[in-house]
């Protein structure tokens, strides 16, 4: 048997060392993924909470006092000192319509009133003269009656002319549009130079200090209300401090008439009055959701932290930490949100732990694979 040469031995040694070099990193990577890695994840326990049975209904925010201001006379808009979004005070000028023709008509009406007053003065003096002549038997009874009739007719003409002058004066005020109350201009339907027509809306004004939420509810829900209950409002467009409100049942107004087609009732929920500190920064047309009690019993629900929610495309899930301290992504179905807690309808059970940092849980789960 031929003994291997020194060069052959060197080649075998080199191959063994190269094989060990390839194997060592694999062992090291496997040793770094231990259950202790997921143990450092912050987690929370899914809990059971008792709450009143409530259903939600979508609605809209509306102003209690909102006015669509229209023109009463025709004319060209010659002044428009406001714009949409401006806050105006009661009596402030909103728009002015060209009133030159109306001003001339007012002058003519006043002149006609003066002429009628002069005619009445002349008819009054003539009637007095005829009265003296009749007393001296210089004229007949018919002549006196004619003078009296002329005086009465002239007096009636003056009264009519004074009334007409008053109408002309009142109509001259129609060419100046002023704010009927303090509020905010939500819509401006005209621009400078537009033609105003009687009945054509010029702008919309609302009072921001009084707002409410309006929605429709089935008539079967009306029997579930009782004293001492509370209603809840959600305004998703507002900041986190104003998104959710709890209000007493007294803030709920149910209109007496029901819709004959849908058998539903219109309800209104008054919002707290706005002020600089605690006011609700809502606006008419904003989306709102009203939560109303469905019955007087209490219901159990599973709740978990909002921070644990994972959203990937159309999937909503949570990383559940199993008994081996390993995070596993599980699809869940969620209900309504209450501050930092969310109702869990399916996907997890009470007592299970979920990761509060989904990104860290995803990284830990990837390392365990």
At the topology level, CATH places domain 66-204 in OB fold (Dihydrolipoamide Acetyltransferase, E2P) (2.40.50)
CA 51 to chain centre: 28
Alpha-carbon gap, residue 113 to 161, rounded angstroms: 5
At 72, list the tokens.
């009463």
Per DSSP, 134 falls in state: H
SS (H, E, C) 69-108: EEECCCEEEEECCCCCCCEECCCCEEEEECCHHHHHHHHH
Does the predicted TM-score (pTM) go above 0.85?
no
- Of the candidates 328, 65, 322, which has an alpha carbon nearest to the alpha carbon of residue 204? 65
At 252, list the tokens.
């709920």
Contact predicate 125/118, CB 8 Å: no
* pLDDT beneath 70: ranges in the chain: 1-39, 50-53, 226-228, 274-279, 295-299, 365-369
CATH number of the structural domain 44-63+208-368:
2.40.30.170
Q: What pLDDT sits at residue 169? A: 79
**Numbered ranges of CATH 2.40.30.170 in the chain:** 44-63+208-368
β-partners of residue 57 are: 290
Question: Which ranges of the chain would DSSP assign to H, the alpha helix?
Answer: 6-32, 36-39, 100-135, 141-172, 358-368
Strand, helix or coil for residue 7:
helix
pLDDT, tens digit (0-9, with 9 covering 90-100), for 110-155: 888 899 899 989 989 988 998 999 888 888 899 889 988 998 999 9
CA 350 to chain centre: 38
CA 365 to chain centre: 44
Q: What pLDDT sits at residue 49? A: 77
Q: What pLDDT sits at residue 292? A: 82
Mind giving me the DSSP string for 245-311? EEEEGGGEEEEEEE-TTT-EEEEEEEPPPP-TTT-----TT-EEEEEEEEEEEEEEEEEEEGGG-EE
**Numbered ranges of CATH 2.40.50.100 in the chain:** 66-204
Strand, helix or coil for residue 46:
coil
Residue showing tokens 């912050």 = 42
- Kindly list the strands in the beta sheet with 66-70, ordered across the sheet, starting from the edge strand earlier in the chain: 66-70, 201-206, 183-188, 87-88
In sequence order, the 6+-apart residues with CB closer than 8 A to the CB of 178 are 91, 92, 93, 94
């Amino acid at each position: 048997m031929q003994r291997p040469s020194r060069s052959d031995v060197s080649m075998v040694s080199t191959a063994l060392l190269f094989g060990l070099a390839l194997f060592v990193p694999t062992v090291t990577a496997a040793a770094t993924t231990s259950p202790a890695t997921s143990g450092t994840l912050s987690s929370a326990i899914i809990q059971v909470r008792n709450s009143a049975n409530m259903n939600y209904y979508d609605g809209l925010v509306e102003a209690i006092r909102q006015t669509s201001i229209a023109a009463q006379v025709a004319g060209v808009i010659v002044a428009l000192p406001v714009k949409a979004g401006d806050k105006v005070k009661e009596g402030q000028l909103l728009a002015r319509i060209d009133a030159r023709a109306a001003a001339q008509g007012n002058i003519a009406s006043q002149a006609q009133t003066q002429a009628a007053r002069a005619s009445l003065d002349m008819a009054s003096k003539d009637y007095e003269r005829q009265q003296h002549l009749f007393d001296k038997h210089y004229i007949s009874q018919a002549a006196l009656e004619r003078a009296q009739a002329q005086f009465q007719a002239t007096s009636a003409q003056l009264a009519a002319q004074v009334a007409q002058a008053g109408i002309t004066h009142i109509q001259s005020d129609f060419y100046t549009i002023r704010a009927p109350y303090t509020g905010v201009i939500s819509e401006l339907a005209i621009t400078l130079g537009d033609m105003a027509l009687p009945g054509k809306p010029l702008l919309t004004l609302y009072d921001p200090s009084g707002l409410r939420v309006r929605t429709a509810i089935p008539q079967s829900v009306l029997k579930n209300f009782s004293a001492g209950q509370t209603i809840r409002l959600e305004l998703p467009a507002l900041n986190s401090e104003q998104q959710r409100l709890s209000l007493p049942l007294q803030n709920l107004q149910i209109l007496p008439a029901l819709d004959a087609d849908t058998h539903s009732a219109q309800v209104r929920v008054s919002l707290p009055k706005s002020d600089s500190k605690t006011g609700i920064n809502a606006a008419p047309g904003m989306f709102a959701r009203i939560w109303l009690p469905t019955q007087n019993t209490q219901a159990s629900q599973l709740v978990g932290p909002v921070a644990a929610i994972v959203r990937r495309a159309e999937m909503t899930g949570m990383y559940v930490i199993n008994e081996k301290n390993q995070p596993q992504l599980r699809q869940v179905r969620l209900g309504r949100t209450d501050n930092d807690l969310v109702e869990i309808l399916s996907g997890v059970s009470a007592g299970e732990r979920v990761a509060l940092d989904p990104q860290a849980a995803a990284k830990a789960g990837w390392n365990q694979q």
